[in-house]
Amino acid sequence: MPSVAPGGALVDVALGGICGTDVHLRTGHLSVPLPLAMGHEGVGHIRALGEGLTTDVEGQPLTVGDRVVWANNIPCGSCYECLVLKEPTLCLNRKIYGINRKASDAPHLQGGWAETISLEAGTTIIKLPDTVSFEEVITLGCAGPTAIHGVVENLTIEPGSIVAVQGAGPVGLASAMYAKAMGAAQVIILGGPTSRIEVFRRSFR
């Protein structure tokens, strides 16, 4: 077990999501360093807090045992993409858990499929309220943040809007959910399989 770094945390992973990106990594469609502890979606309980880390990104106090979720990457904050474009997801220098962190390099445990993950200083950590289950949070995994960026930050959806979503995968379903939350009167999902469409239909009856 690695020691906890200043500003970081050790988290015992409760659930690790499987993203479409993980499938691409496993089949060799994307380049990754080896050895690799995979998994960039995770939720769990804080095992240890590093010096200086006392609150989550919202200012909520953090203590050992708290239930948390964390962002899967740390952008550099100083490149053209981060500073000028204001698009940290395009940062070429991002540290991404479970994708570009070699497991042979200390602190080794930097993937969400490990039993414990070592989160570095600068990681966005969110304390979960007791009313939200791990299953509910991990369902959104990285599809949730992706849809937030695409739908909430880059579209204007007003009460009464009609929104069409192309694709019924995790990102498509999350996008449809956010569109409804923003007041869309009608959300049309194009795609399949039918089982996913039915899940969304039941959720918004």
Q: Which domains does the chain have, with CATH numbers?
A: 9-139 (3.90.180.10), 143-203 (3.40.50.720)
The sign of the torsion formed by the CA atoms of 155, 91, 28, 145 equals negative
How far is 92 from 90, CA to CA, in rounded Å? 6
pLDDT digits (tens, 9 = 90+) for 46-102: 999 999 999 999 999 999 999 999 999 999 999 999 999 988 889 999 999 999 999
- Beta carbons within 8 Å of 186's beta carbon, 6+ residues apart: 162, 163
Calculate mean pLDDT across residues 16-36. 90
Give the tens place of pLDDT for each residue, 167-179.
998 899 999 999 9
The CA angle 114-33-69, to the nearest 5 degrees, is 35
* CA–CA gap between residue 200 and residue 180 (Å, rounded): 11
**Residue 73 CB coordination number (10 Å):** 21
Reported as a single tens digit per residue, the pLDDT across 105-141 is 999 999 999 999 999 999 999 999 999 999 999 999 9
In the structure, how many helices (H) and strands (E) does the chain have? 6, 9
Q: What gap in Å lies between CA 22 and CA 28, rounded to an integer?
A: 10
The pTM for the full model equals: 0.88
Rounded mean pLDDT of 34-55?
96
Specify the pLDDT at position 30.
85
What is the rounded distance in angstroms from the CA atom of residue 113 to the CA atom of residue 12?
10
Task: Reply yes or no on whether the pLDDT at 204 is more than 80.
Answer: no
200: helix, strand or coil: helix
Report how far apart, in Å, the C-alpha atoms of 115 and of each of 74, 77, 139 are.
21, 29, 19
Distance CA 84, CA 25 (A): 30
Q: Give 201 or 53, the one with higher predicted confidence.
A: 53
pLDDT band at 32 (very low <50, low <70, confident <90, very high): confident
**pLDDT: which is higher, 26 or 14:** 14
